[in-house]
Structure 1
Amino acid sequence: MLFHQEIAVLAAGPAAVLGGLTAAQAWGLRGYDSRIVDVLLPAPHQSRALPPGVRLHRTTLLGEEDVLHVGQPPRTMPARSLVDAAQWVVTDEQARAVVAAGFQQRLVGGDDLHMVLNRMLRVRRRSLIRRTAEDAAGGAHSLAELDFLDLVRRAGLPEPSRQAVRRDADGRRRYLDVWFGRWRVHVEIDGGQHLDPATAWADMRRQKRPVGRRRPGPFPAWAVRNDPRTVLAQVGAALRAAGWTASP
């Protein structure tokens, strides 16, 4: 694969670099294997004939801070790679997943993507990338957690913390998916995939749970996306039982 990438960059011209998902994979991004090699080329430069499996993108902005020239083939830096990948994929959901994975797998952190977006003013999905990066930097690293945050905001529930750290009775550090700290309500989001997620969720709903308990769920990703009313009802009930009241 590395040989194919080197050939792709050489074929595109001396100013070309690996970009997007291909560059992110070179930095260690997992779960997005592709036989397509994404190559980025500054707009003024002419490209040569490209071999099969190479996808050429052009850009009017490719500064030194965006490129790693050490080693071969040259590639864009992690934050620039993720921004480009997010604007080149087909769907918004894929874009959100790529950005979240970059934070989850520690390719980027903090305001890394914001710095890129501040330099690149004409980015496809700019608002979506920025919003996803803000949530991911705050601890919502999975797509299911991001979907849950969207539900919470649309329903007018209070803003939770993400991946909050607490210590259990034995003094061990525990990471909570979603933590409404003021009301001490903990929500667990299960990003795992079940062979039959609808049936698994139906089984979970049939389990008797105390009304108003402070650990509603756990909620599988399928339920967050396909049964949001039930999810919100359980979370809202737990918050109200803990003393939260909706703003008038």
Structure 2
Amino acid sequence: MRGLSRAEAGALEWAAFEQAGVVTTAQATRLLSEGTVRGLVRSGRWRSLCRGILLTGNGRLTRDQQLWLAVLAAGPGAVLAGATAAGEAGVRGLRPEPLHLLMPAERRAGTTLRGLPIDMPAVLVHRTAVLPDAHLQRARPPRTTTARAVVDAAGWARGVEEAQLVLASACQQRRVLPVELAAVLDVLPRVPRRGLIRSTVADLAGGAEALSELDFLALCRRHRLPRPDLQHHRRDAAGRRRWLDAYWREWRLHVEVDGAHHMDVRQWADDMRRQNDVWTTGDRILRFPAWLVRAHPDEVAATLRRALHAAGWRRQK
């Protein structure tokens, strides 16, 4: 860096590399003199992002820089959490904003960080009395583990559907296992929506992989219908492995819950071939669009009950 000695430049470049170019004023003044730091900011070569935080450059903030700014501005003990940490762990489809942080309960902090630059998203700060080392991920910036992040994201979600979507997406994308979510839940007695998360994790462990399948299981429980096997596999006439959304083996009833992907012509044709293969073995098949399961569960339940009765099922009183 121009104007700095080789030793100063080397130490500063390493610190900037580790933190995507975002450093605290304390870090910078330990490596450089206060006058040098002030000169870099006044000359426009560095940006002052907020009180005590500097950018060793003068461009707009990248995503990595936004994450580092959030963690450093919140202070010691702060880590990325919830949907933000889960997204950094590779879970796709989650809300990128606001950024979520978690810090120990003894730290006094507001629920939002203020005084941030205009190219920085909102930052929500959550506090917890339960943050064991086993729930922390060695990453840059530091964050909670994927399992803890997903459980927190479900608890902090805007609604029940979003909470279940977070849990299902993380498991469907193979970023976390239901047993790992259950282990985190066991040590978080006060997490929001604890009952919903536990029942959803149990359904995911039983084979559910999509929000539509979770809705279908909830429908069966609510209307006192027997629980089906989810993602049951069988061989078709050509010997290929096929997966069935829901299957009652005893009554040979197969149910497909069609999501938006069934609008694809090739997917539709493949599903029709699979359905025909099942029909030729003598099984009954019912198909419902996912929106109908969610919007008109009584209608779907009535159809299921008629099909199960026709196959010999009787609900025990």
Q: TM-score, normalised by structure 1?
A: 0.86
Per-residue CA deviation, residues 188-222 of structure 1 (Å, 9 max, x unaligned), is 01121799xxxxxxxxxxxxxx9x971011x1111
Tell me, in whole angstroms, the C-alpha distance in 2 between the residues paired with 1:167 and 1:118: 38
Match of 1:214 in 2: 284
Q: Find 1:148's aligned residue among 207, 213, 216.
A: 216
For these two proteins, the number of residue pairs brought into alignment is 231
Tell me, in whole angstroms, the C-alpha distance in 2 between the residues paired with 1:20 and 1:120: 14
The reply on whether 1:18 has 2:80 as its aligned counterpart is yes
Match of 1:242 in 2: 311
Q: Find 1:57's aligned residue among 80, 103, 126.
A: 126
Shift of 1:233: 2.3
Q: Which has the larger radius of gyration?
A: 2
Match of 1:31 in 2: 93
Match of 1:72 in 2: 140
Shift of 1:15: 1.1
The reply on whether 1:185 has 2:253 as its aligned counterpart is yes
Q: Find 1:99's aligned residue among 151, 162, 167.
A: 167
Tell me, in whole angstroms, the C-alpha distance in 2 between the residues paired with 1:47 and 1:133: 32
CA contact (8 A) 2:87 2:96 kept: no
Shift of 1:37: 0.9
The reply on whether 1:169 has 2:237 as its aligned counterpart is yes
For structure 2, list consecutive stretches of 5 or more residues without a partner in the other structure.
1-62, 264-278
Shift of 1:149: 1.0
Q: Secondary structure at 1:179's aligned position in 2? A: strand
Shift of 1:146: 1.1
Match of 1:132 in 2: 200
Tell me, in whole angstroms, the C-alpha distance in 2 between the residues paired with 1:93 and 1:15: 31
Q: Secondary structure at 2:285's aligned position in 1? A: coil
Tell me, in whole angstroms, the C-alpha distance in 2 between the residues paired with 1:226 and 1:57: 34
Tell me, in whole angstroms, the C-alpha distance in 2 between the residues paired with 1:128 and 1:33: 20
Aligned-residue identity in percent: 47
Shift of 1:45: 2.6
Q: Secondary structure at 1:62's aligned position in 2? A: coil
Shift of 1:12: 1.0
Greater RCO between the two (CA within 8 Å, min separation 6)?
A: 1
CA contact (8 A) 2:164 2:200 kept: yes
Shift of 1:13: 1.3
For structure 1, list consecutive stretches of 5 or more residues without a partner in the other structure.
196-209
Tell me, in whole angstroms, the C-alpha distance in 1 between the residues paired with 2:311 and 2:262: 32
CA contact (8 A) 1:16 1:40 kept: yes
The one-letter amino acid paired with 2:291 is W
The reply on whether 1:45 has 2:107 as its aligned counterpart is yes
Shift of 1:229: 2.7
Q: What RMSD over aligned residues (CA atoms) do the two structures have, in Å?
A: 2.1
CA contact (8 A) 1:13 1:47 kept: no
Tell me, in whole angstroms, the C-alpha distance in 1 between the residues paired with 2:90 and 2:249: 34
Q: TM-score, normalised by structure 2?
A: 0.68
CA contact (8 A) 1:215 1:238 kept: no
